[in-house]
Every structure is written in structure tokens, then in C-alpha cells.
Amino acid sequence: MSDKNIRECDFTIAFQPIVDVASESRPFAYEALVRGLNGEGASKILAEARTKDFQAFDSSCRKRAVELAQRLKLSSHLSVNISSEAVGHASHGLISTLDAARTIGFPEEKLIFEISEHRAINDLCRAKDEISVCKSRGSLIAYDDFGAGYNCIAALLEIRPDILKIDMSLIRGIDTDIRRRSIMSAIHDVCSRLHIAIIAEGIETRQEMDALRALGVNLMQGYYFARPIIEHLPMPAPDADGPGIEREARAVENKYQTARDVPGC
């Protein structure tokens, strides 16, 4: 992708905290989410990028996220998204982001790679080799949107992630839905046996948080804690029911529009 093409789909990065509710809801990590310069959502920016060299664009998003995280003095983990097709890519795979982090001076062991499997991995052997290198350099591998993509169970065997991110479709209304709680309980049991951490995505209410805590899930992400904010590390504000979050949003609204769409790279 030429510099000209990258400028044509110009973008920035919003950050949303992933909190540890067992640790006073302190940030465990921040997920980096691509946004347009005027606050456009990820889907619009990525749709434009897909008409060009998507892997190069995807890689440049991760590099920009690392640069910003370093500039913002991020002290927790940084979670960046990578499509399954890019894992193992010779020029734009996981290693390219690790090398960029090393050049920028951002600790590689603070990186989490969220692999989303909306399409099949192109070369599984190569992908597994790259994931192995990644882990040897201290980074963590997360499997994204679990419950919404394809080959979910196979991924636990092939990718062997450190973290499973549970899609919000399994989380929404979990406090009132015995089926969702039963599925989450079974996932939690399997992950405990395989030493895989769970992050629940899309928490919007105190009741959803409480139901997940009762099932033993402590790492959570969602509007209940904080919305993503462009080029800013919002502090989680559970129980604020909006005011704390809105104060942070107003602090930057003169420069950027608060990112309000569904998280996802």
C-alpha cells in the first residue's frame, strides 16, 4: 500500500479499557479500535480500506496504536486486532507489529493480539509458527469474538490462545437468561482446565457484570465501564451510569468526536 493510499483512508485510534473487576475495576488492558478522523466507526473505515491493500492498512493500524500507546504512557497491556488472514503474513503479520513495537520502544510483553476469525486462516502451519514466536517474545494471544465467528472450538485446539474474548451476543441479558449463563459456565469450565483467561465483551449493565462475576469471570469490557475515546485512555467509571464517562467524553469533544459505535476493529 503506498503512502498515498494510506492517506486516502486516514484514520486514528480510540482506546477502551478492559477492566479487572476483582481489582477495583482497574484497567487490565486497553483495546485499540480504528476510527476515522471525524469519529467515523471502524466498519466504515475498514470498508474503505478493503478496497485497497487491506493487510497493509490493518498492519498500519496496529503500528499507529502502539505509537499512540507509547505517547500516552500506557502502563497496562495494549490489545490490538489482527484478522486471521494476516496471521503468518510475510510483511504484515504478528512479527511486523512486534518489530514495530521494539523500534518504538513499547514493551513486546505488554502486547495482546486479538485474532478474529471471520475468514479461515490462510496457512495454518505458518500461522502457528508465528504465534509461537509471538509467545516466545512475551506477547499474549487472544481469540476474538468467541461465539460469533467460525471454527470456534477448533481455534482452541489450533491457535491455543492465552485469552478468549466472549462476544457480546453471549453476554447481552445474561443476568436474565439461564441459557446464556449455562453456556458461559461451560466455557468458563473448559477455559479453566486449559488455563485460558476469559474477557467478556459488551457489558452494559450492573446486572450483567454481577451475573458474570458470579460465574467467575473477572475481566470485562463494555460501555458500563467506559466507552472508547479517540487518542485518550479513559478511566473505567462503573456505577457512574454515565456522568463520569460523559465528563471524560466532553473533555475531548472539542477536538474529536467520542467513538460511539460497537467495538471491533
CB 70 within 8 A of CB 108: no
Nearer to Ca ion, 152 or 240 (CB): 152
Q: Give 140-156 as a DSSP string.
A: EEEEEEETTSSSHHHHH
Q: How far is the CB of 116 from Ca ion (least distance, A)?
A: 6
Query: Counting contacts by CB under 5 A, is residue 114 touching Ca ion?
Result: yes
Nearer to Ca ion, 114 or 117 (CB): 114
Nearer to Ca ion, 151 or 207 (CB): 151
List the alpha helices (DSSP H) in the chain: 3-8, 42-49, 54-71, 94-104, 124-136, 152-158, 168-171, 178-194, 206-214, 243-252
Binding span for Ca ion by CB under 5 A among 39-47, 82-90, 127-135, 136-144: 136-144
By beta-carbon distance, which residue lies closest to Ca ion? 114
Query: Counting contacts by CB under 5 A, is residue 117 touching Ca ion?
Result: no
DSSP label of 162: S
Nearer to Ca ion, 167 or 208 (CB): 167
Nearer to Ca ion, 31 or 130 (CB): 31
Show contacts with Ca ion in window 76-105 (CB under 5 A): 81
Binding span for Ca ion by CB under 5 A among 50-58, 88-96, 139-147, 166-174: 139-147
Q: How far is the CB of 7 from Ca ion (least distance, A)?
A: 25
Query: Counting contacts by CB under 5 A, is residue 144 touching Ca ion?
Result: yes
Nearer to Ca ion, 25 or 79 (CB): 79
| Rounded (to 5) percent helix, strand, coil in the chain | 45, 20, 35
Question: Which pairs with CB-CB distance under 8 Å and at least 24 residues apart come from 43-47?
Answer: 43/261, 43/264, 45/9, 45/11, 46/265
| Beta bridge pairs of residue 229 | 15
Q: How far is the CB of 243 from Ca ion (least distance, A)?
A: 27
Distance CA 126, CA 169 (A): 31
Interacting residue ranges for Ca ion, rule: CB under 5 A: 81, 114, 144
